[in-house]
Structure 1
C-alpha cells in the first residue's frame, strides 16, 4: 500500500469491518470509528491478532454529531502524523414508502447518509488540503443510479447526493490545484451485510468476496467504480437507461 494511514467510519460492522480486515492484511495503519465501542474494541483485537504488524486506533463516533466528526478526524490525524486515505462509509438503511408515515426513518436516512457524509467529507478534505495530498473514498451505492421504489426511495436519493458531492470535488481538483488529492466514488452492488441480511435481492455476493473486491478497487484510486464489477457494472449501466418497471425487477 502506498497510502498506509487509513481512516474508516462505520467500521464496527458491514463493509467498514470488511474493509478494515482487508487493509490490515495489506499492512495499513488503521483509524477506525463507529458508535459501538465494544464492537470496535473486539475488531481491533482481532485485527492485531491476525496482523501483528498492523497498528489500530479506535474512536467512538456518531457521525450525526458533526462537531465530533471534525474533532475526531483532526485528533486521529495528529495521533498518526497525518491521514493518507479516508473512507466515508458510515450509513444506515432505514426507509419507508413516501407518504406512509415513515418520515422520521426517511429523515434519519438522509441525515446519516448525506448530511453526515458531507461533514465527513469536509473534515477529511480540510486535512488533505493542509497536507496537499490524500485519497477520499466515498461509499455510494448502485441504488444511486436511479430513483427506486418504496423503502429504497430515500436511501437511493441519499446515496445519489453523496455521489454528486464527490463528483463536484473531482471537478474542482481536476487540475491538481489543491495538490495530490484523489477522490473516488465507489458504488457497491448487493453485498451481504447486517444492513441487508433480511433482504432477498438478486445477484447478492457474500461479504468476504465483496469486501475483497472493494479494497482492490479502492487501491486503484479510480474516479468511480462499481463493485463487484460483475455483474454490477453492466447492471448499473443498464439501470441508467431502462424503463422503471424493468429497473424495479433488477433491484
Structure 2
C-alpha cells in the first residue's frame, strides 16, 4: 500500500472519538452508528426502549469489534430526559465529539387537521431535541477545535408528498435543512461541521412492519404494488438498503469529510432527481 493510500484510509479512523446517535437502536440510526463503531469510535446508542437498546448494543458490539458500544435510554419528547442524556454522556466521557440526531416522529394528519399540540410534539422530537443536544455538546467541540454534527432529514423536505398527512414531518425536516446552514457558519471556524443527510425510501424495520400489516390486510399483491410504486419513483429503481448509509456517516464523522459543512446531502437513490416515476419499458424495437 502506498503512502497516499495509507493517508486516505486513516482519514476515516475514529479511534478515540465518542459519538452519540439518537434513534440508534434500529433502522438507519443503527447502521450509521455501526459505521462509526467500525471506524473505531465509542458509540452511545440513545433511544426510548431500553430492551431494544440492549439488544442493538450487543449485536453491534459483535458486528463492529473495532469500536466500543454503550447505550442510554432517552425520551426526546421530554426536555428533562434530554438534559439527563446530555449530562450523563458528558460526565461519562468528558465530552462528545460526534452527534448524529437521527430519531424522529411523524404525524399522519392532513394540514387542516393538525393541532398546535401535535405540531409542537413533532417539532420537539425532530428539531428542538437535536438543538438541545447540540447546544450541550458544542462547548467541548469548540474547546478541542473539532466536532461533527449531522441530522437525519427526509426527501419529503425537498418536494411535496402525495401521501396525505406528512405536513408536520415535512416542516420539521425542512427546518433542520435550513438550520444546519446557519449552524455551520457559526461553528466552522472551530473546525466543526454541521450537515443534514436527506434520506429517501429505505427498507427500515418500520417500513417492513408496515408492509407486514399491508400483507395481512390486503395480501402479498398489495405489498408488491407498494414496493413497486416507491421503487419506480427512484432513479435506482429500488428501495434503499439501510446498510448503504454507513459510508456517508463514516465520511461526515471523520477527517475525510472535514470540508463538507452546511450541506443537505441527499442519498435517496435519485428520487429527488425524478420528474415522474419510471414507466414499464416498452418492447425494444429490433431493426433488420
Q: TM-score range by the shorter chain?
A: 0.7 to 0.9
Larger Rg: 2
RMSD after superposition: 2.7
Residues 153-191 of structure 1: per-residue CA shift (max 9 Å, x gap): 1111110011222111112234x1xx2211122111222
Further displaced range: 147-156 or 180-189:
147-156
Residues 188-238 of structure 1: per-residue CA shift (max 9 Å, x gap): 1222213434374333212223x2343254242522253436424634xx7
Whether contact under 8 Å (1:8, 1:33) holds in the other structure is: yes
Aligned residues between the structures? 235
Residues 14-33 of structure 1: per-residue CA shift (max 9 Å, x gap): 21112122222222211111
Taking structure 1 as reference, are residues 231 and 148 closer, same or farther at Cα in structure 2, changes over 3 Å only? closer
Whether contact under 8 Å (1:138, 1:162) holds in the other structure is: yes
Q: Structure 2: any 5+ residue segments left out of the alignment?
A: 1-11, 212-225, 279-288
Whether contact under 8 Å (2:36, 2:250) holds in the other structure is: no
Matched residues in 2 for 1:62 and 1:168: separation? 27
Paired residue for 1:85?
98
Matched residues in 1 for 2:141 and 2:87: separation? 11
Whether contact under 8 Å (1:95, 1:102) holds in the other structure is: no
Once the two structures are TM-superposed, the CA of residue 75 in structure 1 deviates from its matched residue by: 2.2
Paired residue for 1:241?
none
Paired residue for 1:6?
19
Q: The residue matched to 1:184 in structure 2 has which SS?
A: strand
Paired residue for 1:24?
37
Specify which of 192, 199, 205 is matched with residue 188 of structure 1.
Answer: 199
Q: Structure 1: any 5+ residue segments left out of the alignment?
A: 239-245
Runs of 4+ residues deviating >6 angstroms? none
Once the two structures are TM-superposed, the CA of residue 97 in structure 1 deviates from its matched residue by: 0.7
The TM-score normalised by the length of structure 2 is 0.71
Residues 72-107 of structure 1: per-residue CA shift (max 9 Å, x gap): 223213322432211011111232112246766544
